Amino acid sequence: MMNSKISISEALQKIEAGQPVSGYSIDFNHIKVDALDVMKLTRAGIAVPETAIYYNDDDTQLDEDFEGNWVRTATPPSVTQTAIKINLKDDIKQWAESNHVKLDQLLEKLLDGFYRAQKMVSEK
């Protein structure tokens, strides 16, 4: 199965079914992929060339938080996602919502900082 070619629709079906697509490749020549499907493919580890991405401006809503130049970043292979559930007191929840605090990003940064601090302390 290494480097077997599949279509975009086959890859999306596998992703929806929770199946890995890492051993497959897609020929993006002469193909346009909807931007929402690009996000699914990218999360699954399939790099989509920028020339193959199709954007429908009618489906796009402007958001002030996302103005400016976009830069493609690579996700390190050692990064994994973990889903957690937390209970917040009402006042903290209201504060987070009113200040547009992205809790997933905040927790990620706090845990990273805590881990690095613990590592530094244990090395001394």
In angstroms, the CA 39 to CA 30 distance is 19
Report the half-sphere exposure of 37 (CA within 13 A, side-chain side): 19
Q: Give me the amino acid identity at 107.
A: L
Contact assessment for residue 24 and residue 11, using Cβ atoms and an 8 Å cutoff: yes
Token digits for 98? 């009113």
> How does pLDDT run across 48-103, given as a tens digit for each residue?
888 888 877 776 667 777 677 777 777 666 667 777 888 999 999 999 889 888 88
Bridge partners, 34 (sequence order): 54
DSSP 52: G
Give the max Cα distance, the chain: 57
pTM of the model: 0.46
